[in-house]
Amino acid sequence: YARASLGYAYRPLDNEKLNVLLRYTWLNDQPGEDQISANGNDDGPLQRSHVFAVAASYDLNPEFTLGGKLAYRQSQVADRGTSDFTDNTAMLAALRVDWHVVSKWDVMGEGRVLFTEETGTTETGAVFAAYRHMNEHVKLGVGYEWGNVSDDATDIEYDSQGLFVNIVGKF
């Protein structure tokens, strides 16, 4: 397993309304036949990927932030125990809205679409979460994810759904 990322962030100090992150990720994930993954199964695919992504957020006003992500994945995948790699190219788009409800509470909603070129399939997903600011540097959230689309373009198993807890640290 090897993963490397290189990115560039645009976040001006004098005006934080617009934030942009450009990122390239290289992934070479080739587990052995008997290796068990983090979710407890041993049948996940082999993957070699290049992912190019841009994510941005814009503060419309003090209460609402609009965000989005576009990603392109050029990858090859194979079943475990084989070296028969096939192309698996995909494009991901996500649109997000954050609402600062009151002094210590935020809610967010995100819609996602993933188009896989070789199979011509389109998958959709959505996320909703509520966050409580614990202090100036930490917020704790709980939410639910529907569908089969992760915001991580290297996730090729399309099984990201269900309840989650998220802790966010910030400087």
For every residue of 26-92, DSSP letters joined together read EEEE---TT---TTS-S-PPEEEEEEEEEEEEEESSSSEEEEEEEEEEEEEEE-TT----EE--EEE
Render pLDDT for 103-161 as a digit per residue (tens, 0 to 9).
Answer: 899 999 999 999 998 889 999 999 999 999 999 999 999 999 998 888 888 888 767 78
Least confident residue range of 15-19, 39-43, 139-143: 39-43
Residue 30 has pLDDT above 90, yes or no: no
Q: Do 58 and 17 meet the contact criterion of CB atoms below 8 Å apart?
A: yes
Percent of the chain with pLDDT over 70: 95
Least confident residue range of 35-44, 97-106, 161-170: 35-44
Quick one: 118 exposed, middle or buried, by C-beta within 10 A (0-12, 13-18, 19+)? exposed
For the record, the structure tokens of 158 come out as 């399309």
Least confident residue range of 49-53, 77-81, 86-90, 161-165: 77-81
